[in-house]
Amino acid sequence: MNTTIAALKDRHVVITGGTGALGASVVGALLKAGAHCRVPYRREADAERFPLRGDKAVTMVPAGDLSDEAQVNKLYADAAPLWASIHIAGGFAPGSVADTDKAALMRQLDGNLVSCFLCCRAALQAMQKTGAGGRIVNVAARPALEWRSGAGLSAYAIAKTGVAALTVMLAEEVVKDGILVNAVAPSIMDTPANRAAMPNAAYDAWPKVAEVAATILFLASPDNTVTRGAVVPVYGKS
């Protein structure tokens, strides 16, 4: 999957979760491809440490909670004519079914599935107004494709499985509008936080964020002309 230089020149893209490790790699790749990036953030500290915030093609937007419908609608209503929306924002928490209460379940559903649903909805409405088509890329996770691997991660796995299902259904609904919807499903990625949490793991087997970002970039670009409804495994060697 290769995306040509300047394939996204002057196209506007929203990237939720853009201040995180994967998000920053995606924003960097989009900028190299010529895109204008709209990056919502929840906390001022996230915006302040974002290394690309000074780029003239980056617009930082305080957005608060992306499971809040009004906040999401405002984020997309204020955006320029939208070509792509990439939904990386989410959260992780371990826990078996026996150890997960309703509040913990709802936090994972809100943070991963509800936020993705609302951003998909707002994005496609913005794209339909332009009539120029577009691309939506969601981020699921390995347990969304391999359910047994979600043992011990019950609420997270359920929420990410919902993201995968949403992706496939939405892709069918909007293909007539020239909007292609896909997702990636990473395994554990090689990030400083994951290394710190698992100091004895085999890091070399984990996919690198730049590699996952390259797949996202292709799916979000005009170079992707036929792929839709896919939940692409990005596992590296793990």
Q: Which residues touch 60 (CB under 8 Å, ≥6 apart)?
A: 39, 41, 47, 50, 53
pLDDT band at 135 (very low <50, low <70, confident <90, very high): very high
pLDDT band at 7 (very low <50, low <70, confident <90, very high): confident
Q: Give the pLDDT score at 190.
A: 83
Q: Give the pLDDT score at 100.
A: 97
pLDDT tens per residue across span 122-133: 999 999 999 999
Residue 3 pLDDT exceeds 70 = no
What residues are labeled active site? 156
Q: Give the pLDDT score at 216.
A: 98
pLDDT tens per residue across span 40-59: 999 999 999 999 999 999 99
Provide mean pLDDT across the span 121-149: 96
Query: What percent of the chain stands above pLDDT 90?
Result: 86
pLDDT tens per residue across span 169-202: 999 999 999 999 999 999 988 888 888 989 988 8
Instruction: Single out the residue of 192, 188, 137, 209 nearest to residue 166, CA to CA.
Output: 137
Three-class secondary structure of residue 192 per DSSP: helix
**Tokens, residue 32:** 């190299």
Q: Which residues touch 199 (CB under 8 Å, ≥6 apart)?
A: none
Average pLDDT, the chain: 95
39-74 burial, b if ≥16 CB within 10 A, otherwise e?
A: bbbbeeebbeebebbeeebbbbeebeebbeeebbeb
Rounded-to-integer distance, Cα 1 and Cα 72, Å: 31
Q: Give the pLDDT score at 5.
A: 59
Fill in the DSSP letter of residue 207.
P
Q: Give the pLDDT score at 1.
A: 58
pLDDT band at 4 (very low <50, low <70, confident <90, very high): low
Placement of tokens 């090689």 in the chain: 190
pLDDT tens per residue across span 67-113: 999 999 999 998 789 999 999 999 999 999 999 999 999 999 999 99
12-234, what's its fold? Rossmann fold (3.40.50)
